Amino acid sequence: MAFAPVLHSEWLKVRTLRSMTWALGAVVLATAAFSALAGLDSDGDDFDPLFSVFFGVNFGQIAAIAFGATAFSTEFHGGALRLSLAAVPHRGRWFTAKAVAIGVPALTVGLVTGLVSLVVGKAVLGDRASGVSLAEGLRGAVGTGVYLALMALFAAGLTALLRSGVATLSILVPFLLIVSFVVGGVSGSAADFLPDKAGQVILHETSDGALGPWSGLAVTALWAAGALAAGAWSVRRRDA
């Protein structure tokens, strides 16, 4: 079977599941809401207006990984993966189509999320956002979209490897909210290369760590690529 119809069928699976729509909607709402709350309580000598505008990404990414994990975990319910592979025997082609069907809507919603957060965050900050230039704001908005898409793909790849969306969320959610938060303050160390800390460098005006805005996103992309490669290996080598 050609790639286009395989992609179309996988896109239909994502689009017709109500939980997927809710997860993508939660990405926008959670990010914008927490960015607004951060703007109401932003002060201090280390105040970073750009990061304050996009602060909600810390919480929106939870919805993004939930989307990626859930979108792939549906294949492990009720023998769905067996049926998918029976229709598309070329497992690599099927896996690629699945990843694209997850990544493209995540990127689209992520870009919308970035623009909404930029508008809402700057509005709440008011005069305190005067230091955020147009170029920085657009960089943050685009970076938000790319980052959220990469985190969704990272979760999808890990789900394919573990064959469980629950297991993936049980690992990633505590990691993002607790482990990475605790070690994230250690700049200039291995903490700079964690998938979330590296990718979020693009949301800061300046960085004191080893990575720049785009090199940080590249590191997150490597994490996502590694997870997808491991997930593809699992799908190719293990029984459906």
Q: Residue 142: phi, psi to the nearest 5?
A: -65, -40
d(CA 51, CA 45): 14
Whether 61 contacts 150, CB under 8 Å? no
CB environment 69-108: b (16+ within 10 A), e (fewer): bbbbbbbbeeeebeebbeebeebeebbbbbbbbbbebbbe
| Mean pLDDT for all residues in the chain | 89
pLDDT tens track for 39-53: 776 665 578 889 999
- pLDDT reported for residue 80: 83
Closest CA to 138 of 107, 117, 153: 117
The domain locations on the chain are: 3-237
**pTM of the predicted model over 0.85:** yes
Render pLDDT for 118-162 as a digit per residue (tens, 0 to 9). Answer: 999 888 888 887 778 889 999 999 999 999 999 999 999 999 999
- Residue 146 has what pLDDT? 98
**With pLDDT > 70 as the criterion, what percentage of the chain qualifies?**
94
pLDDT in tens, 87-121: 888 889 999 999 999 999 999 999 999 999 999 98
Q: Within 13 Å and on the Cβ side, how many CA atoms surround 20? A: 21
Quick one: average pLDDT of 203-227? 92
As a residue count, the chain comes to 240
**What pLDDT was estimated at residue 20?**
86
